[in-house]
């Protein structure tokens, strides 16, 4: 058994030929803070094939270093290691890349880049348009709740219209409509945006046509040669 264990930090968008010296020093500084046990951790080499920082850790402190890294990633370590882990991820994001830390025993720690939001963000309001099949009209007051289904069959709720608009929408029940109004959005901790509510100020019925009719109408707008080429391209796309 060797007297040391290797920890390999790889950044996919950088290389030894392209990274500025100051940036390299910043990465090494944060990596040293993450690993800890600085008297027993040394930089062994810098490898190409992206940028790989190879560090060697004395075997006697390998359990301490590995536990420290895992605790930092889990958010249960000390303040220095947690801060270093977060800063490394931010730096990888700033360099438009992703990174991994290969540890002894086949354990791989991922640095996906963009920092994950620590909390959800709600109450973001903006003009919003959604469309789908009108499947629900409910309520008898001044504000009426409606529901639509998008093309995947997913129902959208939290949509309200005035009583007057609801009377007009009844004529389009089970048909496709586009709704426009003031939407309220929320971002969850995974960075996904969801529509919480929509106060509709206008709607537009959408025309439903079979694909064959759409293509036929498009063909009438093209010259014979153009139509032939267009249909050929569509056929190739559908058949792969």
Q: Are residues 199 and 217 in the same domain?
A: no
pLDDT at position 223 over 90: no
**95-144: pLDDT as tens digits:** 989 999 999 888 889 998 865 555 667 778 888 888 889 999 998 788 99
Kindly report the CATH number assigned to the domain that includes residue 137. Answer: 2.40.50.140
Kindly report the CATH number assigned to the domain that includes residue 49. Answer: 3.30.70
**48-64: pLDDT as tens digits:** 878 999 999 999 999 99
Q: Are residues 167 and 219 in the same domain?
A: no
Q: Are residues 187 and 239 in the same domain?
A: no
Q: Domain range spanning residue 235?
A: 210-240
β-pair type (143-149, 155-162)? antiparallel
Q: How many domains does the chain have?
A: 3
Q: Tell the burial category of 13 from Cβ atoms under 10 Å away from its Cβ (0-12, 13-18, 19+).
A: middle
Within a domain: residue 116? Answer: no
Last residue of a domain, one of 67, 84, 111: 111
Q: Are residues 66 and 140 in the same domain?
A: no
């Amino acid at each position: 058994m060797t007297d040391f264990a290797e920890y390999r930090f790889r950044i996919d968008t950088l290389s030894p030929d392209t990274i500025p010296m100051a940036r390299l020093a910043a990465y090494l500084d944060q990596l040293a803070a993450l690993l800890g046990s600085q008297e027993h951790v040394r930089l062994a080499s810098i490898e190409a094939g992206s940028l790989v920082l190879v560090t060697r850790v004395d075997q006697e402190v390998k359990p301490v270093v590995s536990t420290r890294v895992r605790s930092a990633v889990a958010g249960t370590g000390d303040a220095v290691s947690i801060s270093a882990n977060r800063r490394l991820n931010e730096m990888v994001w700033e360099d438009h890349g992703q990174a991994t830390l290969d540890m002894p025993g086949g354990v791989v720690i991922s640095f996906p880049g963009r920092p994950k939001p620590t909390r959800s963000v709600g109450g973001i309001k903006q003009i919003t348009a959604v469309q789908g099949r009108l499947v629900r009209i409910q309520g008898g007051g001044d504000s009426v709740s409606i529901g639509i289904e998008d093309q995947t069959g997913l129902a959208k709720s939290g949509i309200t219209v005035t009583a007057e608009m609801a009377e007009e929408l009844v004529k389009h029940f089970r048909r496709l409509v586009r709704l426009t109004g003031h939407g309220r959005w929320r971002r969850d901790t995974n960075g996904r945006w969801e529509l919480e509510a929509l106060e509709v100020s206008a709607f537009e019925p959408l025309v439903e046509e079979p694909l064959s009719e759409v293509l036929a109408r498009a063909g009438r707008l093209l010259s014979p040669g153009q139509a032939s080429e267009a249909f050929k391209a569509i056929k190739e796309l559908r058949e792969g």
